[in-house]
Amino acid sequence: MPVDVLMPQMGESIFEGTITKWLKKPGDKVERDEPLFEISTDKVDAEIPAPSAGVLKEIKVAEGQTVPIQTVVAVIDAAGAAAATAPAAAPARTEAPQAAAPPTPPPAPSAAPATAAQASQRVAVAPASAPVAAAGAPAMPRRDGQRIHSSPLVRRLAREHNIDLAELRGTGAGGRISKKDILAVIAAGGSRPAAAPPPAPTFAPPAVAPAPAPPAVPAAVPGAPGTVVHVALENAVPRERIYFGRYEVQPMTVMRQRIAEHMVVSKRVSPHVYSVDEVDMTRIVQLRDRTKNEFEKRFDTKLTFTPFFVRACVEGLRAFPTVNASADGTNVVLHKEINIGIAVALDWGLIVPVIKSADEKNFLGLQRAINDLAERARSKKLKPEEVQEGTFAITNPGVFGGLMGLPVINQPNVAILGLGAIQKRPVVIEDAIAIRSMLYITMSYDHRVVDGAVSHQFLQKVKKALENWSENIL
């Protein structure tokens, strides 16, 4: 029995995903929940498990292609595999206390679904909250054998206006023919395919805006409400001045594009101003050197500098709530949660997982959350909500030896703290020169909301918290 594999919805505000890598080839055997392909969305990259065991029959969407959620990206032949995988699965099941040798086929979880309804349930790798589940509207066969997804209303209107739904292309979720689509056809005077958005070529001039709304759609239809607006990435110089000599063109990954768009928007919207301060980290460096082995032994997690910085920022943010804020037009949104994003450098880009309610965690809790998020960022296991709802961010160019960095604000925050490398430097303390572990901290802030006075007081607060650290961390 063929089981459709769908592009999952990875979060409430995510409508499309790009297949970055197929982990199986057609003809390969797959187990249920075995990683099948990798995707990249606006928010996260993720491995998607197979919805069913079987043999990968067909890949319908090639690597690099971006498709709407709920699109069928592959087909697994589950029936073929039931026989093949059932014996393999059976031994695992016999671990159950009552291993009565069943004369009938074993209840292997990978067995082929009995009915089509079950099949479509299994296919729903998307979160349960997604209303656009595979088993949505009943469908009729499309001419090329695909099912047509519409709705009772659309089918009634089609009947009343003699419109053949097989000739329409839908713009609803998963390509469904929606009320909007059929009303557009009716308004245009009959059965006519609505213009579907052309698939974006892998390497296209980036300045081209996404496909405009089909001309047949009446003006009253809102412009795809809620969709993510991608800014066009412009070139600073004419294209012919870019290509010369020997070169190789690499398309940006989805993540690279999102970073690029985000940075352009952030710099355009937020007037960035920068503050720099210097922190004597000697006390914390010594504390960490002294306790890190014991810490790791006792709590089974590594002791890093990051939780110290997070804790210090929490103090600063508590004292200066306008730094823990967002701007919305002429309003300043003061966030009551303190959710601190931590920039994690990846081999393939950068992501900012968020420690939610950082002010409510103790030191060990912070350290665990940081290590867990960083680890899962690197293994592509972050959930979309774990990179959202940050209220402030910390980035650490120091890990690569940078003395200081002036980061770009991670929207919709109004400030970001940059940490340089901790370095032993000669410093003057009460007319004596001493060797101390010193650190430059920088803050980029949105001058619409935060002024220099606040920014420097915030940094002073952070500095004091670090230099006078007294909390026992063991």
Residues annotated as catalytic are: 447, 451
Name which position in 67, 74, 124, 132 contacts another protein (CB under 8 A): 132
Q: Cis peptide leading into 321, omega within 30 of 0?
A: no
Piece in contact with another protein (CB under 8 A), picked from 31-39, 146-154, 161-169, 400-408: 146-154
Q: Whose Cβ is closer to another protein: residue 201's or residue 218's?
A: 218
Count other C-beta atoms under 10 Å from residue 452's C-beta: 12
161 binds another protein (CB under 8 A): no
Q: Whose Cβ is closer to another protein: residue 156's or residue 267's?
A: 156
Q: Whose Cβ is closer to another protein: residue 180's or residue 436's?
A: 180
Q: Whose Cβ is closer to another protein: residue 328's or residue 347's?
A: 328
155 binds another protein (CB under 8 A): yes
111 binds another protein (CB under 8 A): no
Rounded to a whole number of angstroms, the minimum distance from the CB of residue 179 to another protein is 4
Rounded to a whole number of angstroms, the minimum distance from the CB of residue 344 to another protein is 27
Residue 291: name the closest of 402, 367, 186, 237 by CA: 367
The mark string for 168-207 relative to another protein (x by CB under 8 A, - otherwise) is: ----xx--x-xx----------------------------
Name which position in 21, 147, 156, 424 contacts another protein (CB under 8 A): 156
| Separation between Cα atoms, residue 173 and residue 132, nearest integer Å | 7
Instruction: Give every strand in the sheet of 54-59, ordered side by side.
Output: 2-6, 72-77, 54-59, 29-30
Q: Whose Cβ is closer to another protein: residue 109's or residue 136's?
A: 136
Name which position in 72, 154, 382, 438 contacts another protein (CB under 8 A): 154
Q: Whose Cβ is closer to another protein: residue 69's or residue 387's?
A: 69
Q: Whose Cβ is closer to another protein: residue 238's or residue 329's?
A: 329
Site for another protein in 317-376 (CB under 8 A): none
Q: Whose Cβ is closer to another protein: residue 145's or residue 152's?
A: 152
Piece in contact with another protein (CB under 8 A), picked from 48-56, 154-162, 191-199, 455-463: 154-162
Piece in contact with another protein (CB under 8 A), picked from 83-91, 147-155, 202-210, 265-273: 147-155
Site for another protein in 13-52 (CB under 8 A): 15
Rounded to a whole number of angstroms, the minimum distance from the CB of residue 32 to another protein is 27
| Separation between Cα atoms, residue 259 and residue 349, nearest integer Å | 8
Tokens read off for 368: 């665990």
Length in residues, the chain: 474
130 binds another protein (CB under 8 A): yes
Site for another protein in 202-231 (CB under 8 A): 222-226
Q: How many CA atoms lie within 13 A of 14 on its CB side?
A: 26
136 binds another protein (CB under 8 A): yes
Name which position in 99, 153, 208, 242 contacts another protein (CB under 8 A): 153
Binding-residue total with another protein (CB under 8 A): 22
Rounded to a whole number of angstroms, the minimum distance from the CB of residue 138 to another protein is 11
Piece in contact with another protein (CB under 8 A), picked from 49-57, 148-156, 368-376, 453-461: 148-156
389 binds another protein (CB under 8 A): no
Count other C-beta atoms under 10 Å from residue 412's C-beta: 18
Rounded to a whole number of angstroms, the minimum distance from the CB of residue 152 to another protein is 5
| Separation between Cα atoms, residue 291 and residue 182, nearest integer Å | 68
145 binds another protein (CB under 8 A): no
Rounded to a whole number of angstroms, the minimum distance from the CB of residue 227 to another protein is 8
Rounded to a whole number of angstroms, the minimum distance from the CB of residue 49 to another protein is 23
Q: Whose Cβ is closer to another protein: residue 152's or residue 198's?
A: 152
> What are the residues binding another protein (CB under 8 A)?
12, 15, 130-132, 136, 151-156, 172-173, 176, 178-179, 222-226
